[in-house]
């Protein structure tokens, strides 16, 4: 995530970039979908005294600002990612890998349904569950 984007997101909010927030964003910097526990491990490499509670509070703030997104599906543990672009996910039912995908046209469909049902202020997410290429090849179709 670019520093300019982070700075702009924080400037538009009531929050400032603390050491903990910066460390969490760095932990998420590789674009992977990480659990709070994995983020904690990465942050502790530079800040050994940080607690899991601090990680969760920081993630909540960064989500509120719009700098972090959460992915949770069918009771699985929540995973976080630092990305601003609207996207959707492919979830492997075998290895649980997540892949970000664009779904052009989905926004129009979601807004049409919401309008028809008289909903406003909507958000939407698409998760397609199946077997990834690697798992299909490893285990057979």
Confidence of residue 7 (pLDDT cuts 50, 70, 90): low
Confidence of residue 131 (pLDDT cuts 50, 70, 90): very high
Question: Would you say 103 and 88 are in contact if contact means Cβ atoms under 8 Å apart?
Answer: yes
User: Looking at residue 17, what is its pLDDT?
Assistant: 79
The top-level CATH class assigned to 3-81 is mainly alpha
Question: Would you say 82 and 25 are in contact if contact means Cβ atoms under 8 Å apart?
Answer: yes
The domain covering 88-139 belongs, at the CATH homologous superfamily level, to: Ferric-uptake regulator, C-terminal dimerisarion domain (3.30.1490.190)
Question: Would you say 89 and 100 are in contact if contact means Cβ atoms under 8 Å apart?
Answer: yes
Locate the domains of the chain by residue range. Answer: 3-81, 88-139
């Amino acid at each position: 995530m670019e520093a300019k984007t982070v700075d702009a997101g924080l400037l538009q909010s009531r929050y400032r970039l603390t050491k903990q927030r910066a460390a969490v964003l760095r932990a998420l910097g590789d674009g992977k979908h990480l659990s709070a526990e994995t983020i904690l491990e990465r942050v502790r490499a530079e800040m050994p005294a940080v607690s899991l509670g601090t990680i969760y509070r920081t993630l909540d703030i960064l989500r509120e600002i719009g700098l972090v997104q959460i992915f949770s599906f069918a009771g699985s543990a929540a995973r976080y990612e630092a990305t601003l672009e609207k996207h959707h996910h492919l979830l492997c039912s075998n290895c649980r890998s997540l892949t970000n995908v664009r779904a052009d046209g989905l926004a129009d469909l979601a807004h049409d349904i919401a309008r028809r049902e008289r909903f406003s202020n909507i958000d939407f997410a698409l998760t397609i569950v199946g077997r990834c290429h690697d798992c299909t090849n490893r285990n057979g179709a």
